[in-house]
Amino acid sequence: MNDTISKSLSGNFQRDGFLVRRGLFSEERVGALVAAVDQSLNPALAPVEFEADVHYPGAPESVLAPGGRTPRRLLHAYGRNALFREVAEDAAVVETLRALMQTPQLLVSQNHHNCVMTKHPGYSSVTSWHQDIRYWRFDRRELVSVWVALGPETVDNGCLLVIPGSHQLEFEPGQFDAALFFREDYEPNTGLLASATPVELQAGDVLFFHARTLHAAGRNESDVIKRSLVFTYRAADNRPIPETRSAVFEDIPL
């Protein structure tokens, strides 16, 4: 990546809090990843988070309810499959991250994201507006997540929605509810929510987004499972705080 492209990508990311790189993964590679995902979905191989576990709007009430064992996340993706590890360490992904985060020394978090995200027809839930950093504990709130689309992602099947520039804002406690979701019933939030932008992707596209960027997602109203591979990265000098969930597993240096 030459300096001009690097500075352009970094500038756009610093302004918006997210960046899309189209077609970063080939059709052949995406096909192999989909096959690997489906091997873990049928049957669902632990560790798995089910829709019923999250208690989000639209989720089944319990694992015993209809659709209660619908997978939402296949956890520990880095250690689950060599193909997933190759994505986490992909040269184009890492090169982009180094430009965006302006550091040569990066680590893959094994504590946050590190999963296959799925949205199944019929039983997928709504993800309300939030910042990923809400439960993460690091020296600095400067992490970036990488979202690899393994098929089309549209408003109809629950693509991510983002609020451009929200990673640069400071918020009052009252703008969030008890679960640290950004309140849609609070008048001071309405103007910002009006700027929500869907991030529609095609298979092989990659979304990079800041841990402080407000984002949400709707339900999958299509008749096809949506699959995505998601990893989070930190700079080597941005350490997790000991004895928090951010420090449970050792991170992977690149």
Per-residue pLDDT 10s for the chain (254 aa) are 767 667 788 999 999 999 999 999 999 999 999 999 999 998 899 999 998 988 888 888 888 888 888 999 999 999 999 999 999 999 999 999 999 999 999 999 999 999 999 999 988 999 999 999 999 999 999 999 999 999 999 999 999 999 999 999 999 999 999 999 999 999 999 999 999 999 999 999 999 999 999 999 999 999 999 999 999 999 999 999 999 999 999 999 99
R_g of the chain computed on alpha carbons: 17
- Which among 173, 123, 130, 151 has a CA at the least distance from the CA of 38? 151
Q: Give residue 122's identity as a one-letter amino acid code.
A: G
Quickly list DSSP for 31-58. Answer: HHHHHHHHHHHTTBPSSEEEHHHH--TT
Model-level pTM greater than 0.85? yes
Distance CA 196, CA 199 (A): 10
Dihedral sign, Cα of residue 189, residue 190, residue 192, residue 193: positive
Say which residue the tokens 């096809």 belong to. 224
Fold of 3-60+68-253: Jelly Rolls (2.60.120)
- Which among 126, 101, 88 has a CA at the least distance from the CA of 206? 88
For 167, the 3-state DSSP assignment is helix
Distance CA 127, CA 144 (A): 19
